[in-house]
A and B are shown apart, each in its own frame.
Chain A
Amino acid sequence: MTKKEMEVKEKKAIDSTEGEPTKKGIYFTPPVDIFETEEAITLLADVPGAAKEGLDIDLREGVLTITADVEEPEQKGEPVYKEYDVGGFTRRFQIGKEIDQEKITAELESGVLTVHLPKAESLKPRKIPVSVG
């Protein structure tokens, strides 16, 4: 199988008129993968340039909001050529499942944010042993 070649996808800037959470500066919609197992929901988001200090993960009333601030890199000289804008990332998701808030964990590595959202104990499928009498 030949490998697919990657393409530049223009970063989607968030339109501040839509009432998205806006701090100062531009925010983009990060591309995400979300997958689910019986135990948890996991979210991966591409947030290049984001640092741990600028991360905010919030889950309330079934809405998960991830925000990753990106510091404009130290300007080295004059910009001479520009193909992309630098800014933070933010996105909201409706999470239909009961999540154990206390157990949410997140990692940030090489510009990829991983958020683990373990399901609440009561919602995990449970095998009921059938006793044969």
Chain B
Amino acid sequence: MYTWWDSPNIFSEIRRAREEFDRRLHGAGGPSHGVYPAVNVSDDGENYYVRAEVPGLNAESLEVTATHDRLVISGERSMDKREGVSYHRRERDHGTFNRSFQLPQTVDPSKVEAAYDKGILEITVPRAAEAKPRKVKIKA
């Protein structure tokens, strides 16, 4: 379970740990693996935007669920089954995936929205009304 709001450098820490692990397992320079899909998160004060590159899916094979403290991205990319063809290369990955994120207290899980376009999933996680920055009027 990952949290993204604690530290802006959290990914580099995960990556370092991952690379260390890979080095031990496969020797230096091995590919790094993690829970699919990789995500990027941005924040505009109103919402968090969680984006993931998940090509080749559709509304049926991709699922986003939000509970009071968790956001889950799951799905399945099925393998092309083709008869009577000879494969020269098969590099595109397939299988199931399930990645879970802990949501901060400051968001409203009931208003989470997700959109899928050009193979990119974008989840909008709005801040709870009481957590939005509010301009405080200063009395003269």
Contact = CB atoms under 8 A, between A and B. Distances in A.
Interface stretch (B63-71, B93-101, B105-113, B132-140): B93-101
Given A4-B96, A81-B11, A84-B40, A9 B49 contact: no
B120 A49 contact: yes
A81 B55 CA distance: 21
B42 to A, nearest CB: 5
A51 B84 CA distance: 31
A110 interface: yes
Interface residues of B, number: 56
Contact of A5 (B48, B58, B88, B95): B95
Nearest to A75: B42
B47 to A, nearest CB: 8
A24 interface: no
Contact of B36 (A6, A41, A47): A6
A3 B11 CA distance: 28
Contacts of A75: 42
B82 A6 contact: no
B130 interface: no
Contact of A33 (B34, B48, B90): B90
A46 B55 contact: yes
A46 B35 CA distance: 18
A80 B8 contact: yes
Contact of B119 (A10, A77, A110): A110
Contacts of A10: 31-32
B17 interface: no
A48 B88 contact: no
Given A9-B33, A32-B92, A48-B54, A80 B120 contact: no
A88 B70 CA distance: 32
Interface of B: 4-5, 8, 10-11, 14, 31-49, 51, 53-58, 76-77, 80, 82, 84-98, 116, 118-120, 122
Interface of A: 3-10, 31-37, 41-42, 44-51, 73, 75-84, 86, 110-112
5 contacts: A3-B96, A46-B119, A49-B53, A84-B39, A110-B118
